Amino acid sequence: MLYHKNCEHERHQHYLTILDGTYTEYYYLAMVYKFVVDPNLSSEDPEDLELFQDLIFDGPMGRIHIYYYEELFRRFYSVNPEKVITTLSCYLQYLDVLSGLFVDDAYAFVFRQDDPILIDALLNSLSFKLKMSFLREAQKKPGIIQLSDKLKLLNLFS
């Protein structure tokens, strides 16, 4: 897409600098984190969504949607799980607008962690729509719903 080539929005300028390819992967991933949690940006704004798409799919780090959440967990979950959950939730809001399949891949990653605390925390932070899609994916995986009381309740009342 390369939306950023013509972008003049002040709220985007801070993030456009990383698209020139001169930054480390760590810094790039940190900037994606800042982008998805930025209260001045929204997955409902088409221009914000286009910039997200440039960052995740067309940026200098390649198609990082494939491994962003894996790196997020690998690098930061043990240090700051709350921040990781918030970031993942916000990231999924953007990703959901672009592709439900990529969201399902992220859920599969969460399920592989086999962690009821992670599942409960993520359920607490997801929008209703994402909670429902999370539940639909959990229903396809034997034993996942049984890991979490919140997921059991959600399943029971949905």
Could you report the per-residue pLDDT of 48-80, keeping only the tens digit for each?
998 898 888 887 777 788 788 898 899 899 999
Instruction: Say how far apart CA 28 and CA 67 lie, in whole Å.
Output: 13
Residue 157 lies in a domain: yes
Could you report the per-residue pLDDT of 3-35, keeping only the tens digit for each?
455 677 778 777 777 777 778 888 888 888 999
Host domain of residue 11:
1-66
Residue 29 lies in a domain: yes
Looking at residue 36, its pLDDT comes to 93
pTM, whole model, 2 decimals? 0.88
Q: How many CA atoms lie within 13 A of 148 on its CB side?
A: 26
Please check whether residues 90 and 158 belong to one and the same domain.
Answer: yes
Instruction: Say how far apart CA 48 and CA 73 lie, in whole Å.
Output: 24
Q: What is the rounded average pLDDT of the residues 32-42? A: 92
The count of structural domains within the chain is 2
In the predicted structure, residue 88 carries a pLDDT above the cut 50: yes
Please check whether residues 89 and 140 belong to one and the same domain.
Answer: yes
In the predicted structure, residue 1 carries a pLDDT above the cut 50: no
